[in-house]
């Protein structure tokens, strides 16, 4: 039925909506505060571009 109607799957539509919202938050098109801090690179590196975000990480020892 999806191919007959030429619709995207639900997973693809959700992914597109997530990227669209991230774009709007990044360029301050919606009044939502970004909890992530941008990494400031003056030049693109091999693995990251100039607008990369720092994703917080942590290590937790479950065997305490």
Q: Which tens digit of pLDDT belongs to each residue from 23-37?
A: 898 888 999 877 776
Task: Report pTM.
Answer: 0.60
Q: How many domains in the chain?
A: 1
Q: Are 52 and 44 in contact (CB under 8 A)?
A: no
Question: 48 vs 12, 40, 43, 52, 63, CA distance in Å?
Answer: 25, 10, 9, 6, 35
Q: What local confidence, expressed as pLDDT, does residue 29 receive?
A: 93
Identify the domain containing residue 37 by its residue range: 2-54
Separation of alpha carbons 32 and 2, rounded Å: 33
Q: Tell whether 16 is covered by a domain.
A: yes
Span 1-58, pLDDT tens digits: 767 888 888 999 999 999 999 889 888 899 987 777 666 666 667 776 767 777 667 7
Q: Are 44 and 50 in contact (CB under 8 A)?
A: yes
Q: Tell whether 32 is covered by a domain.
A: yes
Q: The tokens of 27 are what?
A: 């360029």
Q: What local confidence, expressed as pLDDT, does residue 39 receive?
A: 67
Q: Tell whether 64 is covered by a domain.
A: no
């Amino acid at each position: 039925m999806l191919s007959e109607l030429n619709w995207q799957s639900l997973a693809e539509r959700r992914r597109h909506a997530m990227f669209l919202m991230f774009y709007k938050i990044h360029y301050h098109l919606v009044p939502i505060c970004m909890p992530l801090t941008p990494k400031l690179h003056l030049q693109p590196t091999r693995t990251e571009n100039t607008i990369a975000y720092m994703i917080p990480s942590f290590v937790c020892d479950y065997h305490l």
